[in-house]
Structure 1
Amino acid sequence: MSGIILCRTGRALKPLVLEEPGVQIYSLEELCYYIYNNIYILTNAFLDEKLIAFIRTEIKEPLLADKLEQLKCENAGLAEAVVTILKYVDYYDTAEIEQVKDLLAMLDTQNVYERMKMRADRFLEKGCYYSAISNYDKIVNGERDINLSGLFYAKVYHNLGTAYARMFFFEKAAKYFEEAYKIGQHEKSRKCYLAACRMAEGEEQIQDMQAPEEEQVLQRELELLTDNARYSDEYRAMQKMEHLKSDGEVAQYYKAIDDCMDRWKAQYKRYTS
């Protein structure tokens, strides 16, 4: 898809709120964009009464709403509902819609845990850490599937560790990185385990079989990351606030604080959605 696309449908005054990813949708074009870019996390629950009511009353497209309502009554699959929406709006071309159909067909052939991992990976990528953890937990706490390799489970545990580490729960992160390393024997998981332990314990020494020299290397890497943080946009924004305060720019200083708090609140909502 390229170039300018004119929206031909109406814009809702009241948005459709998709709770899990924390997204607000105001038009059918936005809905199509969301579907196309989040196909891995969609489930049959996506086609619900709330979506149909939004299309009927807010977007004022009763024809599409009737089609979707009929599909729901017939217990049609997710693929049929998604393709109906995409074709109705004409936001994506035929080739792109066929790609979506093929992807959904492929997902239908996958093991339930494989689909769950793909959804969790997508949530992790988008920074929706609680949703990612929820899906990974269902895999590790469910009945072990003998058809799935140890490598699959090692990746799940590693990604669980990543999700917890990004929320600064380093003790939990260390636990899952360690489990990932036990199963998969990947150096990356072991290194992440050591780093999570270091972050959780502060200056205390990490107890590990392959210690001294490796600990020093790890410590230098963490110190380098800390130094590099000073060049991040967030750090610069904090410095700017400090300058505004010291220069007596009271109004601008408090506005900068409000903007910062709004960003953090939005980030927290995404984390916990």
Structure 2
Amino acid sequence: MSNVKMCVGARSDTPYYMKHFDKQLYTIEELCYVITNNAFMLEDDDIDENLIEWIRDRLHLQPLSDMLIKLKDQNAGLSEIVMNILIYVGYNTEEEIREIRNLLEQSSHMDQFDKKFNKARMFLDKGKLSSAEQEYRYLEENLPEGAVSELSVVYHNLGVIYARKFYFMEAADCFRKEYDLIHTKSALMSYMYAVRICMTEKQYVDYMADNKDAYLLSMELEKKMSDAGLIYDAGDDKHQLATLSVYRTEGNHTAYKNGMNEIISSMKEDYRKMCT
């Protein structure tokens, strides 16, 4: 039982929502867990008056909240505030605390745009598409003039976000902006994928005829689309749909209806998670 950790304070009946990390917290240990796993992403606003109030009123940790208020009044840095939380709670090992301190110090030398890029990437990796889009839109509007490489990343990832939401026209527009900035093959291919999906066959053929650069890559694109189709045909999703088709043909309407409802419900839930 040597690995058992004693909890500090109460467990809150009302969770505290850390918007930055999309986490609901019920205990001070959960706050330490979020800090430990996201130290490089922490910002001053993450430890704000609302969090301190929740620590005092919901977790009944008056001494800790008083300490944090005093540090805030003294304009203490984020690293000092976080270290005081971790040391007070005793959730982390000394080695972990040293590592977190180093990460916070490294992060303190990053400018606001680097932090925004990291935050946007984190949301995108976790499938929080609307939150990621919000961060990338901020970067699009506020990046300094001449930041071509950074802006191309913004447009590429916005294209990825729209494609995952099945907004292929919007995705194509973003990939086109990326290509106009950096003129790479990968950017053009991303644009062509989106165009290929959202256009009719005739529109796509006409487009290829009028765009020499795109036409030269069109055969490679078609090969990759074909390969993707083969992968899908061998996958579980295609097998499940084929089974439901058999149910429908055989007149087993109950099994068909239940299966379709299950698929639709799963897709809706996945989509809700992406758009939160």
Distance in 1 separating the partners of 2:63 and 2:216? 68
Are 1:165 and 2:168 matched, yes or no? no
- Give runs of aligned pairs for residues 136-147 of structure 1, distance below 5 A: 136-142=136-142, 144-146=144-146
Distance in 2 separating the partners of 1:26 and 1:244? 46
Distance in 1 separating the partners of 2:21 and 2:233? 30
TM-score, structure 1 as length reference: 0.80
- Give runs of aligned pairs for residues 26-37 of structure 1, distance below 5 A: 26-37=26-37
Structure number with bigger Rg: 2
Q: 2:220 aligns with which of 217, 221, 224?
A: 217
1:24 is paired with a residue of what secondary structure?
strand
Contact 1:5 1:91 in 2 (8 A): no
Contact 2:192 2:214 in 1 (8 A): no
Contact 2:169 2:195 in 1 (8 A): yes
Q: 1:189 to 1:96 in 2, by over 3 A?
A: farther
- 1:195 is displaced (CA, Å) by 0.7
Residue identity matched to 1:6: K
Counterpart residue number, 2:111? 111
- 1:192 is displaced (CA, Å) by 0.9
Counterpart residue number, 2:50? 50
Counterpart residue number, 2:7? 8
Residue identity matched to 1:35: I
Distance in 1 separating the partners of 2:88 and 2:236? 41
Q: 2:231 aligns with which of 228, 231, 234?
A: 228
Counterpart residue number, 1:201? 199
TM-score, structure 2 as length reference: 0.79
Unaligned runs of 5+ in 1: none
Higher RCO structure, 1 or 2 (CA under 8 Å, sep 6+) = 1
Contact 1:22 1:269 in 2 (8 A): no
Contact 1:120 1:131 in 2 (8 A): yes
Distance in 2 separating the partners of 1:237 and 1:113? 44
- 1:46 is displaced (CA, Å) by 1.1
Unaligned runs of 5+ in 2: none
- Deviation digits for residues 212-260 of structure 1, max 9, x if unmatched? 452232123224324434566666777788899948469x949x94796
1:140 is paired with a residue of what secondary structure?
helix
Residue identity matched to 1:180: E
Residue identity matched to 1:98: R
- Deviation digits for residues 114-152 of structure 1, max 9, x if unmatched? 221121111111111222222222222125245x5x322
Q: 1:36 to 1:154 in 2, by over 3 A?
A: same
Residue identity matched to 1:222: M
Are 1:71 and 2:71 matched, yes or no? yes
Aligned residue pairs total: 266
Q: 1:15 to 1:98 in 2, by over 3 A?
A: same
Distance in 2 separating the partners of 1:117 and 1:68? 28
Distance in 2 separating the partners of 1:43 and 1:18? 12
Distance in 2 separating the partners of 1:239 and 1:55? 53
Percentage identity across paired residues of the two chains: 26
Residue identity matched to 1:186: T
Contact 2:188 2:214 in 1 (8 A): no
Q: 1:39 to 1:184 in 2, by over 3 A?
A: farther
- 1:34 is displaced (CA, Å) by 1.7
Moved over 4 A (4+): 230-245, 247-250, 256-260
Contact 1:52 1:68 in 2 (8 A): yes
